Amino acid sequence: MSTEAARADQITTATDWGGGTHPYRIGHRKLGMWLFIVSDALTFSALLVGYSYVRATSDQWATPFPFYPSIVFSSVMTLCLLSSSLTMVMGVSASARADYKAVRKWIGLTILFGAAFIVLHLIEWKHLLDEGLRPFSLPEEWLRPDRWPQASPLFGATFFAITGLHMFHVLTGLIYLAVVAARAPKLKHEDVEISGLYWHFVDLVWMFVFPLIYLLSVDFTPPVH
C-alpha cells in the first residue's frame, strides 16, 4: 500500500523533466499509442508527399471529381468523421464518469458514423471503378482531347492507395471501438481514452486526404451528354 502511495506521489509530483516512472504523467499504453500515431502520421505523410511528387512531375493530372456524386459524397463523409470524433469525445467523458451505458451509446454512435463513412466511400469507389478507373490506367473517357489527354495514368494508384489505406484504418478502428465498447466495464478509463486517440487520428488524416485528393481535383469542365 505504501509503495502504491509512493508511486501515486511520483506520478503527480514529478516535474516535467524529472524522469521517474511516469515522466509524461500518462500510462505506458497511452504513450505507446502516441508513438504509434506519430509513426502512422509519417506513413500517411510519405504517401501524400509521394502523390504530390507524382502530380507535380506529371505533364497533366486528371481532375475528374464532379460536384455530384464525388464532392457531395466526400463532404458528407467528412461530416460523418468529424461527428464521429465528437461522439467519441462524449464516450470518453462518459467513461470518466464510469457511466458504461452512456459509453456504449456514444461509442455505438461513433461506430455508426464510421460505418456510414465506409459505405459512402465504397459507393464512391464503385462510381470510379464503373467509369473504368484502375490503379495504373485512366478511363478512356478521361483521355478525350478536351479533357486530360496527357494525364498521368498514376492517378488511380495514388487515389486507391491513399484512400484505401485510410479506409483500412477506419475499418480497424471500428473493430477496435466495438471491442472497447463491449469490454468497457472491465477496462481502465485510460484504455477507452487510448481508443479515442486512435479514432481521432483517423479523422485527422482525412482532414488532409479530403482537400489534397478531392478538392484539388474538382472537375470544372461542363458535363457532356
Partner 1 sequence: MATHAEGEHFAGTNKLFISVWVWLLLMTGLEVFLGYIHIRFALMLTILIGLSIIKAALIVAYFMHLRFERLSLVLTLVPMLVICICLLLVFFPDSFRNRNQRYKFETDKPLMTTSGDEEE
Q: Shortest gap between Cβ of 202 and partner 1 (angstroms)?
A: 10
Give me the 124-163 binding string for partner 1, x by CB under 8 A, dash otherwise.
----------------------------------------
> Hey, what's the cell of 33?
499509442
CB closer to partner 1, 22 vs 134: 22
How far apart are the C-alpha atoms of 146 and 148, rounded to whole Å? 7
23 touches partner 1 (CB under 8 A): yes
CA 178 to chain CA centroid, Å, is: 17
Among 36, 75, 104, 161, the residue binding partner 1 under the rule CB under 8 A is 75
Q: How far is CA 26 from CA 8, 140, 168, 175, 192, in A?
A: 12, 54, 28, 24, 13
93 touches partner 1 (CB under 8 A): yes
Interacting residues with partner 1 between 200 and 219 (CB under 8 A): 200-201, 203-204, 207-208, 210-212, 214-216, 218
Q: Shortest gap between Cβ of 115 and partner 1 (angstroms)?
A: 19
How far apart are the C-alpha atoms of 74 and 215, rounded to whole Å? 9
49 touches partner 1 (CB under 8 A): yes
Among 2, 3, 12, 21, the residue binding partner 1 under the rule CB under 8 A is 12
68 touches partner 1 (CB under 8 A): no
How far apart are the C-alpha atoms of 121 and 86, rounded to whole Å? 20
Sign of the C-alpha dihedral, residues 67, 68, 70, 75? positive
Q: Shortest gap between Cβ of 74 and partner 1 (angstroms)?
A: 9
Q: Are 156 and 133 in contact (CB under 8 A)?
A: yes
Half-sphere exposure of 40 (CA within 13 A, CB side): 21
Count Cβ atoms below 10 Å from residue 105 Cβ, excluding itself.
Answer: 16
How many residues bind partner 1 (CB under 8 A)? The answer is 56
> Hey, what's the cell of 187?
477496462
Q: Of 63, 217, 66, 210, whose CA–CA distance to 151 is shortest?
A: 63
Binding site for partner 1 (CB under 8 A): 8, 11-12, 16-17, 23-26, 31, 34-35, 38, 41-42, 45-46, 49, 52-54, 56-59, 67, 71, 75, 78-79, 82-83, 85-86, 88-90, 93, 96, 193, 196-197, 200-201, 203-204, 207-208, 210-212, 214-216, 218, 220
